[in-house]
């Protein structure tokens, strides 16, 4: 346990600026990995209301889990400002390593290098925590991002909790937020939270299954409320064991 905490603390000293608002085109990562699964993911988010209405982000990703201990992915992010066209922002590589389980909580480390197209290159680190028991699935991601253009490291979080409602249908909530940077930690920043629904579609004309997540995150009082009312989110993941 001590070695894990030391590793997480050290990694947090390193780590790309988030694209647009916290949570836009992002997901809350689990700390567990299922071996030998390949996923093709499409993640979309759009701000609604306020001066940033219409700002969106689209992330396209291919992920493969090589074992229960490690998975790797390559993805690209495209973004659009109000009244503009969608433009590529970055191409990135990511890896997730499962570190173990402590007190029923799985712990993993996420690392990412992004090559900026319309943004600075960057490094990102996430400490991933998750617990699944019965109908409950809870996740927490603690995030450190370090742009490689000299700007200070930025901090953030992502969290979700959901429960089985019936069959493959799950309901709960998700939250994403900005905790500031090394120059201004905490204080008035952007935070979003709201309800989500998840389900699996496995009766397909093609092998594998599709995981769907949809929801709406409300802009909480602070910087987020100044620019928008909230954000619509839709995540589609087609996974297959090759």
Q: What is the full per-residue pLDDT of the chain (242 aa) written as tens digits?
A: 444 444 444 433 333 334 568 999 999 999 999 999 999 999 999 999 999 999 999 999 999 999 999 999 999 999 998 888 899 999 999 999 999 999 999 999 999 999 988 788 999 999 999 999 999 999 999 999 999 988 889 999 999 999 999 999 999 999 999 988 877 776 668 999 999 999 999 877 778 899 999 999 999 998 899 999 999 999 999 988 76
Whether 45 and 233 have beta carbons less than 8 Å apart is answered as yes
In this prediction, residue 20 carries a pLDDT of 65
Residues 6 or more apart whose CB falls under 8 angstroms from that of 142 comprise 12, 126, 127, 129, 155, 157
The CATH number of the domain holding residue 174 is: 2.40.160.40
Q: In whole angstroms, give the CA distance from residue 224 to residue 215.
A: 17
Task: Please tell me the total count of domains within the chain.
Answer: 1
In this prediction, residue 8 carries a pLDDT of 40
Q: Output the furthest CA–CA distance in the chain (Å, rounded).
A: 53
* Domain extent for 74: 2-240
In this prediction, residue 4 carries a pLDDT of 42
In this prediction, residue 242 carries a pLDDT of 67
Q: Residue for token digits 């600026």?
A: 17
Task: Give tens-digit pLDDT for 4-27.
Answer: 444 444 433 333 334 568 999 999
Predicted TM-score (pTM) of the model is: 0.89
In this prediction, residue 187 carries a pLDDT of 65
């Amino acid at each position: 346990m001590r070695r894990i905490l030391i590793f997480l603390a050290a990694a947090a000293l390193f780590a790309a600026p988030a694209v647009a608002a916290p949570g836009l085109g992002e997901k809350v990562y689990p700390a567990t990995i299922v071996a030998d699964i390949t996923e093709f993911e499409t993640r979309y988010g759009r701000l609604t209301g306020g001066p940033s209405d219409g700002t969106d982000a689209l992330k396209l990703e291919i992920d493969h889990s090589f074992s229960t201990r490690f998975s790797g992915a390559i993805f690209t992010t495209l973004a659009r400002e109000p009244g503009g066209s969608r433009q590529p922002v970055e191409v990135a590589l990511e890896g997730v390593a499962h570190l173990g389980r402590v007190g029923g909580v799985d712990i993993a480390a996420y690392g990412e290098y992004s090559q900026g197209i319309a943004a600075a290159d960057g490094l990102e680190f996430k400490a991933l925590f998750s617990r699944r028991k019965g109908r409950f699935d809870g996740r927490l991601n603690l995030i450190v991002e370090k742009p490689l253009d000299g700007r200070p490291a930025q901090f953030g979080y992502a969290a979700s909790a959901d429960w089985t409602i019936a069959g493959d249908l799950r309901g709960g909530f998700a939250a994403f937020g900005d905790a500031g940077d090394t120059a201004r930690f905490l204080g008035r920043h952007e935070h979003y939270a709201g309800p989500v629904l998840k389900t699996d579609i496995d009766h397909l004309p093609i092998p594998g299954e599709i995981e769907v997540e949809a929801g709406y995150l409300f802009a909480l009082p602070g910087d987020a409320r100044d620019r928008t009312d909230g954000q619509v989110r839709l995540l589609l993941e087609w996974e297959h064991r090759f």
